[in-house]
């Protein structure tokens, strides 16, 4: 499974994948609220064994599954 | 702003030769050890919750606790033949309490050593210290608030709610919508100041700056014309969760600045922080000012940083661990759908 699929899987597991695509805007939609934002940060760190530095916790990096996957790949490559 | 000994919020007791005299399976456990009923009741009154980690036969041990009139004081007792660190961990997970806020009391040195080895942050006491726990500095509370003396009942309601949540098959938000939650936001007054002080001392994970204030400083802030100080309380169909959040803002010429945002860890997954932030964005919009938030990084409060950042706050200034954030969305944050909010009419 690639990075996007693994992140998408978490949304499915949390029953938040209705009508969700990799490029769906998440932060101002029904797919993410502030509670889930915390869960998704924790999930991404655990699933991909990375620690997301403070500066990278931003809307730009979490506004879609595409953006999160790009962040993960960048941090894993670093 | 004072540095204090970190308060114990939860005490986990052994039973045989610790809480009661003798060993239950050998005919003991007929009476409590001297002073322990008083200790248990006093800790309870102060809002320090208690549980059990004991190697015993569960029905027999629970029956004896009931006969001794103490069963109701212990939340999710862990009575089994499993290692005690597992039991303690189960209690802390169920109550959402961190190990550094927990204490363990046991007469057996081997049990205490096992606990220290697997939970080095938990404070460990021998049976001979048990009756004097209420005198130790880490078990002191400055005031016994109404919230404190009801805390055990609030935790019980939390446990019932968690049970219902495990049974529920929809998303987290759909579950929250079934709770009928009401959040009342009100100005801090003299009546609620003691609870305000308690929240600042007890809350570490969901605390934006970690500032603690003396009672006198807090009292001055309620009267300060340049500050807006709010406390909120939460109820739902499982009961009253009491006062669960604080918001202190300083009103400057061009910006409203959040100096303190605190949410009780007991309600951390119920949208209270988001609602308080939404309230702040609405006030700022009403006043025609920018909304900023001071954030002071501590060992525990990363979760608060994430909340701010993904709610639309950007970093404006950085000075070591102290950050100034600014809300950048054009419109105020909406209140969560699953929460009915009562807010003060005007600033």
Domain CATH code at residue A63: 1.10.1200.10
A31 touches chain B (CB under 8 A): no
All residues of chain A having their beta carbon less than 8 Å from the beta carbon of residue B296 are none
pLDDT of B5 reads 65
Q: Are B32 and B72 in contact (CB under 8 A)?
A: no
Q: Are B195 and B246 in contact (CB under 8 A)?
A: no
- Domains of chain B and CATH, by start: 10-139 (3.40.50.1000), 170-342 (3.40.630.30)
Q: How far apart are CA B156 and CA B94, in angstroms?
A: 10
For B268-286, give the DSSP string: TTTTHHHHHHHHHHHHHHH
Q: How far apart are CA B295 and CA B203, in angstroms?
A: 15
CB pairs A-B closer than 8 Å = 48
Q: For B174, name the nearest residue in chain A, comparing CA atoms only.
A: A15
Chain length of chain B = 347
Tokens of B265: 């860890």
Q: How far apart are CA A65 and CA B211, in angstroms?
A: 36
**What is the CB neighbour count within 10 angstroms for residue B36?**
22
More confident residue, B145 or B254: B254
Q: What percent of chain B has pLDDT over 90?
A: 73
Rg (Cα) of chain B, in Å, rounded? Answer: 22
pLDDT of A33 reads 65
| pLDDT per residue as tens digits for the range B148-205 | 888 899 899 989 998 999 999 888 888 999 999 999 999 999 889 988 988 888 777 7
Band of pLDDT at residue B3, cut at 50, 70 and 90: very low
Q: How far apart are CA A72 and CA A74, in angstroms?
A: 5
Look at the alpha carbons of B279, B280, B285, B288 in this order and tell me if their dihedral is positive or negative: positive
Beta strand pairing call for B227-236 and B339-342: unpaired
More confident residue, B240 or B78: B78
Mean pLDDT, residues B266-291: 92
Tokens of B267: 């309600």
Q: Are B299 and B292 in contact (CB under 8 A)?
A: no
Contact check, Cβ <8 Å, B310/A54: no
| pLDDT per residue as tens digits for the range B14-34 | 999 999 999 999 999 999 999
| Full residue range of the structural domain in which residue A34 is found | 3-77
> Which segments of B168-241 does DSSP mark as H helices, in order?
172-177, 193-202, 215-223
CA dihedral B165, B169, B173, B176 (to 10 degrees): -40
Q: How far apart are CA A68 and CA A45, in angstroms?
A: 11
| pLDDT per residue as tens digits for the range B55-64 | 999 999 999 9
- Smallest CA–CA distance, residue B266 to chain A, in Å, is 14
pLDDT of B1 reads 35
pLDDT of B2 reads 39
Residues 6+ apart with CB under 8 A from B73: B40, B41, B44, B50, B152
Look at the alpha carbons of B174, B180, B181, B187 in this order and tell me if their dihedral is positive or negative: positive
Q: Which residue has the tokens 């399976």?
A: B25
A50 touches chain B (CB under 8 A): no
Q: Within its chain, how far is the Cα of B154 from the centroid?
A: 11
Band of pLDDT at residue A78, cut at 50, 70 and 90: low
Residue B288 falls in which region: left (phi positive, over 0), alpha (psi -120 to 50) or beta:
left
| pLDDT per residue as tens digits for the range B85-124 | 999 999 999 998 999 999 999 999 999 999 999 999 999 9
pLDDT of A30 reads 57
* Least reliable range by pLDDT among A7-16, B2-11, B108-117: B2-11
pLDDT of B212 reads 81
Of B302, B311, B314, the CB nearest to A34: B311
Name the residue among B145, B137, B138 with its Cα closest to residue B122: B138
* Least reliable range by pLDDT among A4-8, B132-136, B205-209, B281-285: B205-209
| pLDDT per residue as tens digits for the range A31-48 | 566 667 788 899 999 999
Of A33, A36, A58, the CB nearest to B309: A58
Q: Within its chain, how far is the Cα of B205 from the centroid?
A: 9
Contact check, Cβ <8 Å, B172/A38: no
Band of pLDDT at residue B214, cut at 50, 70 and 90: confident
- Smallest CA–CA distance, residue A78 to chain B, in Å, is 22
Q: For A41, name the nearest residue in chain B, comparing CA atoms only.
A: B306
pLDDT of B249 reads 97
pLDDT of B211 reads 84
Q: What percent of chain B has pLDDT over 70?
A: 98
Task: Tell me whether 0.95 is exceeded by the ipTM.
Answer: no
Mean pLDDT, residues B2-23: 87
Query: Does position B231 have pLDDT exceeding 90, yes or no?
Result: yes
pLDDT of B38 reads 97
Total domain count, chain A: 1
Query: Does position B333 have pLDDT exceeding 70, yes or no?
Result: yes
């Amino acid at each position: 499974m690639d990075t996007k699929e693994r992140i998408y899987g978490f949304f499915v597991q949390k029953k938040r994948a209705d009508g969700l695509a990799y490029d769906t805007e998440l932060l101002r939609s029904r797919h993410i609220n502030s509670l889930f934002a915390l869960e998704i940060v924790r999930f991404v760190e655990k699933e991909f064994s990375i620690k997301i530095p403070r500066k990278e916790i931003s809307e730009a990096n979490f506004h879609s599954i595409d953006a999160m996957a790009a962040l993960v790949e960048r941090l894993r490559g670093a | 702003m004072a540095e204090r000994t970190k308060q114990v919020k939860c005490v986990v007791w052994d039973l045989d030769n610790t809480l009661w005299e003798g060993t239950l399976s050998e005919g003991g456990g007929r009476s409590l050890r001297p002073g322990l009923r008083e200790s248990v009741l006093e800790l309870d009154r102060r809002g320090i919750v208690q549980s059990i980690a004991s190697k015993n036969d569960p029905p027999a041990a629970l029956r004896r606790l009931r006969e001794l009139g103490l069963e109701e004081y212990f939340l999710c007792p862990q009575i089994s033949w499993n290692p005690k660190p597992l039991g303690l961990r189960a209690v802390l997970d169920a109550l959402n309490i961190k190990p550094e806020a927990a204490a363990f009391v046991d007469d057996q040195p081997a049990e205490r050593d096992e606990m220290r080895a697997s939970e080095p942050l938990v404070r460990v006491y021998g049976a001979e210290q048990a009756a004097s726990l209420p005198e130790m500095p880490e078990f002191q509370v400055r005031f016994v608030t109404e919230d404190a003396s009801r805390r055990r009942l609030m935790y019980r309601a939390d446990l019932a709610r968690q049970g219902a949540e495990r049974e529920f098959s929809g998303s987290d938000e759909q579950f929250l919508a079934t709770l009928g939650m009401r959040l009342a936001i009100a100005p801090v007054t003299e009546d609620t100041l003691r609870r305000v002080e308690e929240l600042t001392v007890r809350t570490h994970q969901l605390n934006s700056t970690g500032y603690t204030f003396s009672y006198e400083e807090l009292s001055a802030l309620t009267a300060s014309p340049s500050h807006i100080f709010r406390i909120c309380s939460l109820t739902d169909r499982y009961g009253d969760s009491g006062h669960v959040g604080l918001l202190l803002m300083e009103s400057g010429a061009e910006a409203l600045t959040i100096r303190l945002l605190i949410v009780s860890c007991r309600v951390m997954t119920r949208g209270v922080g988001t609602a308080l932030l939404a309230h702040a964005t609405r006030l700022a919009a009403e006043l025609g000012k920018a909304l900023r938030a001071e954030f002071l990084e501590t060992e525990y409060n990363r979760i608060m940083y994430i909340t701010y950042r993904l709610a639309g706050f950007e970093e404006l200034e950085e000075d070591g661990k102290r950050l100034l954030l600014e809300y950048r969305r054009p419109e105020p944050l909406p209140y969560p759908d699953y929460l009915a909010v009562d807010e003060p009419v005007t600033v």
